[in-house]
Amino acid sequence: MSAGKWVKMAMGNLWDLLSYPVRDPYSTSRLDALPARLASTSCALSKGRALGMQVVLLLVLVPVAVSAQEVCDNGVDDDGNALVDLNDPACQCNTMISSGAASFIPNPSFEEQLCCPYWYNFSNEPPWFNCAQQWQQATQPTTDLFDACGLYPNVFPIPPPDGDAFVGMRVVEGWQEYVGACLSYPGQTTLITAGGTYTLSFHVAATSIRVLGNQTFSDGAFYADPVPLAVFGLEYCVPFPVATVDCPGSVGWVELGSMDYYGDGGWSQVSFTFTPDTDIRTVMIGTGCALPPSFSGGAEDSLQFTPYLLLDDLVLTEATDQVLTPVTSTGHYCSGNVVVSASPPATATDHQWYLDGVALVGLTDPTLNVSALGLGHGTYTFASTYNGQCLMGSTNVQGPITPTPAFAIGPLVGCAPLTVEFLDTTGAPVVATAWDLGDGTTAAVPEVVHTYTVPGSYDIQLTIRTDMGCEQDSLMPALIEVVDEPIAVALVIPNPSPASSPVVLEGGGSSGGVILWHWDVGSIIPGTLEGEQVNGTAPDIPGTYPVRLAVSGALGCVDTVWTQLIVVGDITMPNVFTPNGDGDNDLFLPLEVSGVEGTLEIHNRWGQVIYSTNRIDAGWDGRVQGQLASEGTYYYLVTPAGEGEALHGHFMLLR
């Protein structure tokens, strides 16, 4: 619409005022009436006389008038009231131009009622909708009537666009609600006939609801998919409600028209224009038969929000009795394929597109490629001039709507190596999942099992993408905490140890933030011990004894190590013996031996082995090959069996 035409419309009253005739330039009678003329909206169009006075008025008033005029198609707040273009009351525009013909269905706005619906929750006895004169609950699911005589839930976009009443209906798979009316009522002679062209227009809003007891909650129009709207017809009248919980197309009704509606929580006007193949005597309005995946959950599922539509001002006439500019939207914002299209009357002129009421200067073609032009989401309005009047239609381009990422992750804290399970639990309409596990590892599947081997804090990010291409991510800083695993080090001092001797168990070399040492030493007295360094006693019997140390860190992580204690027996050798047959000190053998087995070797002073035995306690009788050895110095070597150090020394053989 041209700027000149908008300015001309807005300045009409001012021009009338400036054209008001002044009979006498010296008379004040007309000037006295000037304040009243300033307030008037109907002025004489005659320019009259006293041109000099008119010029003075122009000089005084024109600057004030120009500064206060809103030009309605330039995207500028011309009058300085912070309201731009269509958002300014000075730029009001029609959404429908009507011939004045009555709707085929009386009571289009549900104002005439048989009863007053007192609504406060969805558990009261139905039918609520049947309170509206001429309308019926069309199928078994219970459509709802809201009116000022009841209680409006505060989650709805009220007031409604026409009057006090409006209709609400759930839109979920297996529970589709509809409004319906028979056109053959008393006094009605006009029917929808085969081959004729008809228009059904109405206002619609989309939201979501969840009802718990007396409380109604809403999450807005959270579903990403468009709402399929449809009008169905039948060539004869039938008793309502029709026996179905699905769309009426499943029970023989004919779909007369359909469209996709992108709801954003506010009211929009939409319309169907259709030409039926048969006479139609009953109509039903609601949603189409094919619902998208996000419209699920069931009407009785109070634990989740369900899609909900609001309808008002349903006007059904012959197409020529309503002049509208239907505006539709296709594609999705996140998919980058949004196109909005207007269908103005053929003779309409001065086209102009608006986004949220602000002119998109220079965009006048009825088809607008929103994504290609890099435009945002919101309400797109197409305005034209038709028969001297402003006519417009609007549609909503929905912005990115993505469920909040939901997940299950655990464990969140532990020792390296820590194995963590990740699961995306967001559900539909998510079609793709991307994990960033914080250590350079990524995954594009809903479920991941990952092991962290390096201690540290790890940020986790989950990104989801819906079937419409919208992405949402959730960053969880330092969600995973991996600490050093304790390392146990166990020492037994001394090792080997003599039987029954004191020993020290030392765990001080352990690392990794150890706060607890637990010793399990079996036969080593006292059997179990606690502490970084503890004392014990070696067993009485020589041998090898296992020792276990288990250490724990602050997070309960445990490491275990095994070692062993070697216990050797005591061996004391004499330094002289007298093999003279007197029965006293006739054998060279240990003075003291406790459970030690091994070998005994006797060497002469030249290092030659002159005697050996595998029984230490057998000793040596002083003979070499049956002959008594000569007196002198000899050497011994005792080698214990198994573990233990060899003993060696010298002794004297005397007669």
Contacts with 6 (C-beta within 8 Å, 6 or more apart), sequence order: 70, 71, 72, 73, 91
Residues ≥6 apart with Cβ < 8 Å to 499: 538, 539, 540, 541, 542, 567, 568, 569, 570, 594, 595
Residue 392 tokens read as 């417009």
- H or E segment at 303? none
Query: Cα separation of 291 and 404, whole Å?
Result: 22
Residues 6+ apart with CB under 8 A from 637: 600, 601, 603, 646, 647, 648
Q: What are the phi and psi torsion angles at 146 (to 5°)? A: -115, 135
CB-based contact 297:213 (threshold 8 Å): no
C-alpha to C-alpha distance for 211 and 302, rounded to whole angstroms:
6
Task: Indicate the SS3 state at residue 641.
Answer: coil
Give the contacts of 314 (CB within 8 A, at least 6 positions apart): 103, 105, 108, 109, 179, 200, 201, 202, 285
| Residue 423 CB burial class (10 angstroms; 0-12, 13-18, ≥19) | middle
Q: Which residues, listed in sequence order, are joined to residue 277 by a DSSP beta bridge?
A: none
**Which residue stretches of 135-236 are H helix?**
none
The three-state (H, E, C) secondary structure of 469-501, written as one string? CCEEEEEEEEEEEEECCCECCCEEECCCEECCC
pLDDT of residue 43: 25
User: Which fold does the domain 100-321 belong to in CATH?
Assistant: Jelly Rolls (2.60.120)
Query: Of 549, 518, 550, 522, nearest to 538 (Cα)?
Result: 522
**Can you tell me the distance from the alpha carbon of 129 to that of 132, in angstroms, rounded to the nearest whole number?**
6
CB distance 85 to 74 below 8 Å: yes
- Cα-Cα-Cα-Cα dihedral of 122, 125, 129, 134, to 10°? 180
CATH class in words for 491-568: mainly beta
Residue identified by tokens 């005697």 is 611
Domains 100-321 and 407-479 share a fold: no
CATH T-level assignment (fold) for domain 407-479: Immunoglobulin-like (2.60.40)
- In terms of C-beta density within 10 A (0-12 exposed, 13-18 middle, 19 or more buried), how is residue 485 classed? buried
Q: What pTM was estimated for this model as a whole?
A: 0.62
Domain chopping of the chain, boundaries: 3-69, 84-95+324-401, 100-321, 407-479, 491-568, 571-653
What's phi and psi for 605, nearest 5 deg?
-70, -10
For residue range 560-612, what is the model confidence (pLDDT) as tens digits? 999 998 887 777 889 999 998 888 999 998 887 665 678 899 999 888 999 99
The beta strand positions in 213-305, using DSSP E, are 215-217, 227-234, 254-261, 268-274, 282-287
Provide the edge-to-edge strand list for the sheet that holds 447-452: 407-410, 418-424, 447-452
185-194 long-range CB contacts below 8 Å, 24 or more apart? 185/106, 185/134, 188/104, 190/104, 191/279, 191/280, 191/281, 192/104, 192/233, 192/276, 192/279, 192/280, 192/281, 192/283, 192/316, 193/276, 193/279, 194/276, 194/277, 194/278, 194/279
pLDDT for the residue 427: 81
Rg of the chain (C-alpha set): 50
pLDDT digits over 434-466, tens only? 999 999 999 999 999 999 999 999 999 999 998
Report pLDDT for 380. 94
Q: What is d(CA 571, CA 589) in angstroms, rounded to the nearest whole number?
A: 10
359, two tokens:
């002119």
Q: What is the DSSP letter of 65?
A: H
The per-residue pLDDT for range 268-297, each reduced to its tens digit, is: 889 999 999 999 999 999 999 988 877 765
84-95+324-401 maps to CATH 2.160.10.10: no
Q: Tell me which residues of the chain have a pLDDT lower than 70.
A: 1-68, 117-128, 148-154, 158, 185-190, 213-215, 221-224, 265, 296-304, 525, 593-596, 642-644
- The residues, any chain, with a CB within 8 Å of residue 581's CB and separated by 6 or more, are none
**What is the spatial distance between Cα 86 and Cα 72, in angstroms, rounded to a whole number?**
6
d(CA 645, CA 72): 109
- Output the CA–CA distances (angstroms, integers) from residue 128 to 121, 166, 246, 313, in the order listed: 11, 12, 20, 18
For the domain covering 571-653, report its CATH number.
2.60.40
pLDDT at position 351 is 97
Task: Using the Cα atoms of residue 91, residue 313, residue 304 and residue 249 in order, give the sign of their dihedral.
Answer: negative
